[in-house]
Structure formats: structure tokens, C-alpha cells
Structure 1
Amino acid sequence: MATETNTGTEAETAHAQAQSGDAQSGDAQHGDGQHYWYHSDKAALTRRLKRIEGQVRGIQRMVEDDEYCIDILTQISASTKGLQAVALNLLQGHLAHCVAEAQTSGDAAAAEAKVKEAADAVARLLRT
């Protein structure tokens, strides 16, 4: 995509960049060098995203080939459902791991921040 949609604040972007231990290699890590919870599922997550990417490229070809609009909309719906499934998986894992860890850390402010972060993510997902 050529432009980035306004789905988060600059602070969220900075937070995400600060938390990625090695952004150049794409190796998502906590600031302390440990991997995020989805590290073990990264191959499956990547395969799913590549499948969705292929669907989107197919939609682009359909537009270029002047395909029937309802057929294009059907494919858009399918790729959107795929992205929603990925988002739900990531949200579920975030709640089960990141939020749960913050809740058991004993740091009430960190726990509250993780809950708010998750609630904000749900709100963004519901707006789409």
C-alpha cells in the first residue's frame, strides 16, 4: 500500500518501534531481547498473510482486467475476513500473554496500560 491509514497514534507507532528489538530483521522482540508470544507461530502467521497478499493481488488484477464488480467485492470480502481472522488471533494471543503477564507482574500501572492498549485495539478493529 502506498499510504498508511490513520489507525493509531504516533505514540503507538513509537511504542511498537521501541518494542521491536530488531526491526531491521523483522525479529519481533520485547525490549529485553525476549521474543513476543507469536514467535513460535511466525511461520504460520506469515503463510496466512502471504495468502491474503495473494488475494489482494488477485483483486488488483480483477480491476485491471475489468472484471464484474460483484465478483471483485466477493474477493474483497474474502480477503477482509482473512485479515480479521489474523487480527483476532493476534488479539487473543495478546490478551493471553501480554495482558496476562502484565496482570501478574504486580505493576498495577503496567497492567492498566496493557488493558487500555487491548481495549483501544478492539475499538480500532470494530471501526473497520
Structure 2
Amino acid sequence: MKTANNEHHQHGYAQDQQALIHRLSRIEGQVRAIKAMTERGEYCIDIVTQISATTSALKSVAQLMLNDHLEHCVHDAVHTGGEVADQKIQEVQKVVAKLMKA
């Protein structure tokens, strides 16, 4: 797999990849169900409730991905030190800020 700077690298989530794909498939199904509910003209609150559940599921996947990133990629970069470590830490700070806005 390639990283942001095109190096070949096994990502931290490699061990959890199949579980993450399974979760994302379930979320994909939830989104399709929300679309179908909307097409059928179902009650607004029921649709919003499903959107909330889907949003929560996505945040859960993001948290797992971030934890894997911290435990592997950032951990390795910190041990390497220097500019690599600084870049990984800044990268995490930016993504955490984005997640907190969502």
C-alpha cells in the first residue's frame, strides 16, 4: 500500500482491515436504507434517527482507524524521530480537529 508520500507501507489497520471493511459494508447498507426510507416518504424523525446512528457508526470506524494509526504509524515515526515524527504528529492533530468539528 502507498502512504501519502508514496512510500510502500503496511498500514496500522492491516490486522483489522477485514473487520473495518465489514463495518463499512454495514454502514453502506444503513445509508441505502436511509435513501429507501426517504424515497418511501417515511417519517422525518425516523430518518434523522437512522442518520444519527449511521453518523455514530462512521465515527466509531474513524476512531478505530485513528487508534491503529497512533499505535503503529505515529509510534514508529516517534521512534524514528526528527521531521518524520513532527509530520505524523501534525497530521494527527489536523485530523482530530476535523473529527471534532463533525
TM normalised by structure 2 equals: 0.92
5+ residue gaps, structure 1, are: 1-14, 20-30
Distance in 2 between residues matched to 1:126 and 1:41, nearest whole Å: 24
Moved over 3 A (4+): none
| Aligned positions, number | 100
1:61 aligns to 2:26 (yes or no): no
**Counterpart in 1 of 2:95?**
121
5+ residue gaps, structure 2, are: none
CA RMSD of aligned residues (A): 1.3
Which has the higher relative contact order, 1 or 2, with Cα contacts under 8 A spaced 6 or more apart? 2
Higher helix share: 2
Write out per-residue CA displacement over residues 12-39 of structure 1, whole angstroms, 9 at most, x where no aligned residue. xxx63x54xxxxxxxxxxx23x421211
Q: Percent identity?
A: 46
TM normalised by structure 1 equals: 0.74
**Counterpart in 1 of 2:77?**
102
**Counterpart in 2 of 1:39?**
14
Distance in 2 between residues matched to 1:93 and 1:40, nearest whole Å: 9
